[in-house]
C-alpha cells in the first residue's frame, strides 16, 4: 500500500487550514451582519409549543408562569448600572427535546431588561427629515443618546404607521388600529394603551404609536391570551420589545436579546412580574434594534441585517423611520443667591 508523500500531506493540511479559516471568516461576517447565532436559535425554536423558561438564581430552569416576582428579580443578572438606569439580563431557554436544545446549548438565549428613572432621563421621538430610514446605532451616535430603540411599525416603503409627535407638534398621522402608545406630557414619559392619552392631562410633547397595548393597571388584556392571532401574530415566537411603566413612573423595557425570542403572552407575563402597571409592544421581529451607552462604550443589538443593502428576503436591510430616544437630563443650573 502506498503512503502519501510528505508534500501531499502538507498540501492536504494546508487545504484544510484554508477551508477552516474561510469558514471562520464567513461566520464572523455572518455574526456581524446577520446575527447568525441568535437567528439559529430563533429558527430552531420558532415552531415550539413549549413554554419559555428562565434560569433562576439557584441554577434551576423555571417556567415563567410558575415564577414569583421574587424569583424573577433574583434571576436578573446586572450588566450596567448608572444613576437612574439599569440594564440586566435573564438567561432563558425553550426545551424541545430535539436538536433545537443543542442549538440553544451552543449559542444560548437571553432577554434584556432596561429600567430607566424619568427624573434623570428625558424621552423623545427620534427620526430623520422626511422620515428617512435609519438605525439605532446612527441615532445613538448622532444624538449622543443613552438608550434608543425602534418605535413605530412601518409600511413597505419605510414610512411610519401611527402618530408621531415631536416638540409639541404632530408630524405623522394616527393609525387607528394601533392600540398602544408612548407619549410625554409635562416632561414625563408614559407607555401603555392609548386611553392613557385622555386620562393624563396636558398637551402631548412627544409621542409614537405602538401595537398592541398589552396591559393596564397590572392586568394583561384578555385578547393577549384568548385571541392572540385574531389581530396580531401573538402566538408567533419571534423577537419582541415591550415598553411599560410602573406605578411610580419608572420605565421598564423587556427586550429580546440574542436567541431570546418570545410570544406576546410570555413578554407580557414577564412585564407583569416585573411590577409593570401599563405596557405596549413596540416594533419587533426582524426590525428590532436598540443601542445602549455603557461605561465600556456603546452596546448594540439588531435582530437582523441593518447595514448591507440586500434586496432578497429575509436578508434585506432592516432600517426604521422612528425611534424612541432616551437622554440624560441636563443638570439644573443653580444661580447664586437663589
Distance CA 182, CA 196 (A): 10
Q: What is the pLDDT of residue 334?
A: 35
Distance CA 304, CA 233 (A): 19
Q: What is the pLDDT of residue 335?
A: 37
Q: Cell for 230? A: 385574531
Q: What is the pLDDT of residue 14?
A: 85
Distance CA 240, CA 81 (A): 23
Q: What is the pLDDT of residue 332?
A: 65
Distance CA 95, CA 52 (A): 8
The mean pLDDT values, 10 residues at a time, for the chain of 338 residues are: 71 87 89 95 94 96 96 97 97 94 96 98 98 98 97 93 97 94 98 97 97 97 88 92 98 98 97 98 97 93 95 92 96 46
Sheet holding 169-172, edge to edge: 169-172, 164-166, 206-210, 180-185, 188-193
Distance CA 63, CA 55 (A): 9
Could you say which DSSP state residue 130 is in? G
Distance CA 136, CA 124 (A): 14
Please name which of 238, 286, 227, 301 lies closest in space to residue 266, comparing C-alpha atoms: 238
Q: Which helix (H) or strand (E) holds 89?
A: strand 85-93
Please name which of 112, 114, 115 lies closest in space to residue 54, comparing C-alpha atoms: 112
Amino acid at each position: 500500500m502506498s503512503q502519501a508523500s510528505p508534500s501531499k500531506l502538507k498540501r492536504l493540511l494546508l487545504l484544510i487550514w484554508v477551508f477552516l479559516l474561510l469558514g471562520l471568516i464567513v461566520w464572523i461576517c455572518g455574526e456581524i451582519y446577520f446575527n447568525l447565532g441568535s437567528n439559529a436559535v430563533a429558527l430552531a425554536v420558532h415552531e415550539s409549543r413549549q413554554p419559555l423558561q428562565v434560569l433562576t438564581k439557584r441554577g434551576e430552569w423555571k417556567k415563567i408562569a410558575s415564577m414569583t416576582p421574587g424569583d424573577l428579580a433574583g434571576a436578573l443578572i446586572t450588566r450596567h448600572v448608572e444613576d437612574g438606569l439599569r440594564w440586566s439580563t435573564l438567561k432563558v431557554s425553550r426545551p424541545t427535546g430535539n436538536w433545537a436544545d443543542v442549538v440553544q446549548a451552543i449559542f444560548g438565549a437571553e432577554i434584556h431588561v432596561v429600567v430607566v428613572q424619568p427624573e434623570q432621563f428625558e424621552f423623545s421621538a427620534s427620526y430623520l427629515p422626511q422620515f428617512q430610514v435609519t438605525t439605532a446605532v446612527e441615532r445613538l451616535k448622532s444624538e449622543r443618546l443613552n438608550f434608543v430603540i425602534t418605535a413605530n411599525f412601518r409600511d413597505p416603503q419605510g414610512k411610519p404607521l401611527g402618530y408621531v409627535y415631536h416638540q409639541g407638534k404632530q408630524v405623522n398621522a394616527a393609525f387607528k388600529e394601533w392600540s398602544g402608545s408612548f407619549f410625554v406630557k409635562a416632561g414625563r414619559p408614559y407607555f401603555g394603551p392609548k386611553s392613557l392619552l385622555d386620562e393624563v392631562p396636558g398637551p402631548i410633547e412627544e409621542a409614537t404609536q405602538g401595537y398592541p397595548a398589552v396591559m393596564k393597571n397590572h392586568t394583561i388584556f384578555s385578547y393577549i391570551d384568548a385571541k392572540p392571532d385574531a389581530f396580531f401574530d401573538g402566538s408567533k415566537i419571534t423577537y419582541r420589545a415591550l415598553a411599560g411603566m410602573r406605578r411610580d413612573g419608572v420605565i421598564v423595557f423587556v427586550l429580546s436579546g440574542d436567541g431570546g425570542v418570545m410570544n406576546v403572552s410570555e413578554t407580557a407575563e414577564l412585564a407583569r412580574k416585573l411590577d409593570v402597571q401599563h405596557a405596549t409592544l413596540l416594533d419587533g421581529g426582524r426590525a428590532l434594534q436598540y443601542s445602549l451607552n455603557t461605561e465600556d462604550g456603546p452596546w448594540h443589538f439588531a435582530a437582523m441585517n441593518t447595514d448591507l443593502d440586500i434586496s432578497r428576503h429575509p436578508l434585506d436591510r432592516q432600517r426604521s423611520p422612528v425611534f424612541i430616544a432616551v437622554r440624560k437630563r441636563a443638570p439644573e443650573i443653580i444661580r447664586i443667591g437663589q
